[in-house]
Amino acid sequence: MPGVGVVLNPKSRRNLRDPNAADRLARAVGDDGVVRCARTIDELYTIAEEFRRLDVEILAISGGDGTNQITLTGFLDVYGEAAIPPVALLRGGTMNTVANSVGVPRGTPGQILRRLLDGYALRGSTPLGRVERHLMRITPRAGGKARYGFLFGTGVVQGFLAEYYAGGDPSPLLAATTLGRGIASALVGGDTIRRVARPFRGSVVFERGQTWEERDYLSIAAGTIAHIGLGFRPFHRFDECPGCFHLLGIHASPVGFVRELWRIHGAKPMSPGKARDEVSSKAVVRSADGAVRYMVDGDLHETPGEIELSSGPAVKLIVPS
C-alpha cells in the first residue's frame, strides 16, 4: 500500500514556474507512495477520498501556506472523525510560515521529500521526527464553509497581505520591502500606512463570557504557532494551554506598533497599554460595520457579521532531519 501520498498544487507560483515538478516528485517517491495534482477543490476531495481508501501513512503537501490550509481543510472534511495522516510540509510556495515555525529544514520540495523518504525507510528503527500543533476552526457565523488554519488576523495583518499581494510577484524580498515601506510610511504618516493599517472596529466575546469592548483595533489576530512571517513571533503563548490559541487585540497606534516590532520579533509581550491578549479555545470576533475582512494562513477572505474561532483537531507535522 502507498506509504507517502503527495498533494501538489500546480497553480502555486513556484510550481507554475516548474511544470515538471509533479513528474520529478513522482520519480522520487517511486513505489513508496503516490503523487496527485489538485487543480480544483473537487479534485482535492477526490484525492482525499483516494488517500483514505489506500490508508496512506503520510500526507505530504507541495505548496505554500495557502495550499497547506486548503489541503488540510479538505482532508479534515473527508476524514471526518478519523485522524488524518501525519503531515509533511514540502515548502512548495512563496509563503512557508508554518514550515518555518515548526522547524522544517529549508530546501526545495524535492530535497525535503527525499529527506522524508530516507526517514520513512528507517522508520522501523528510528521514528520520524514530528511535532504536534492544533489547528483553529474559523467559521463565518453568517453561513459558509469553515476553514482550518494556524493563523488568523484582521486589520493590519489583513492589510499588510493585501498590500503585499498587490505589489507584484510574491517573494520574501517583496515581503520585506512591503514591511519596510509600511514602517517608513507610519513614521511620516504616509498613504501606505493608511491603506495597510486601516483599523478593525469590533469586539470579542470569549467562551467564558468575558469580552473585549468594541473599539478600533489595529488588529485582532490569533495563532496556534508562534510565527506570523518574516521572523516575527507575536503568538508567544501559543503552547501555554493544550488545544488553545493565543489571541491578540492590538490597539497601539501605527507608530506605536512599529516601536513594538523588536519585541514581537523576539517573542516578547508587547508593552503595557499596547495590546490585550488571551489564551482561549473559543472566541467570537464581531465587526461593528457588519463585515470582517480577515486572513487565514496567508489567504484573504471577507464575510458579513461575525467569525467564530475555536480549537480544531491536533495535527502531527513531520520534521525531516
Half-sphere exposure in the Cβ direction for 101 (13 Å, CA): 28
Provide the pLDDT for residue 10: 82
Q: What is the pLDDT of residue 16?
A: 67
Q: What is the CA radius of gyration of the chain?
A: 20
The label of the residue with cell 468575558 reads 210
| Helices 156-166 and 172-188, packing angle to 10 deg | 120
Count of CA atoms in the C-beta half-sphere (13 A) of 224 = 28
CATH number corresponding to 4-128: 3.40.50.10330
Q: Going residue by residue through the chain (321 aa), what tens digit of pLDDT does each one get?
A: 578 999 998 877 677 677 788 889 989 888 889 999 999 999 999 999 999 999 999 999 998 899 999 999 999 999 999 999 999 999 987 789 999 999 999 999 999 999 999 998 888 778 889 999 999 999 998 888 899 999 999 999 999 999 988 887 778 888 888 889 888 888 888 888 888 888 999 999 998 889 999 999 999 999 999 999 999 999 999 999 989 999 999 999 999 999 999 999 999 999 999 999 999 999 999 999 889 999 999 999 999 989 999 999 999 999 987
Query: Which residues, at least 6 apart from 234, have a Cβ–Cβ distance to it below 8 Å?
Result: 221, 223, 226, 228, 248, 264
pLDDT value, residue 290: 86
Cα 183 to Cα 112: distance, rounded to the nearest angstrom: 35
What pLDDT, on the 0 to 100 scale, is given for residue 1? Answer: 53
Q: E strand or H helix at 220, and its extent?
A: strand 219-223
The structural domains of the chain, with segments of one domain joined by +, span 4-128, 135-313
Q: Are 87 and 320 spatial neighbours (Cβ–Cβ below 8 Å)?
A: no
- Whether 134 and 313 have beta carbons less than 8 Å apart is answered as yes
Which H/E stretch holds residue 29?
Answer: helix 21-29
Which region, left, alpha or beta, applies to residue 165 given φ > 0 means left and ψ of -120 to 50 means alpha? alpha
Q: Amino acid letter at 286?
A: R
Residue 122 region by backbone torsions, left for phi larger than 0, else alpha for psi between -120 and 50, else beta: alpha
User: With respect to CATH, is domain 135-313 assigned 2.60.200.40?
Assistant: yes
pTM for this predicted structure? 0.94
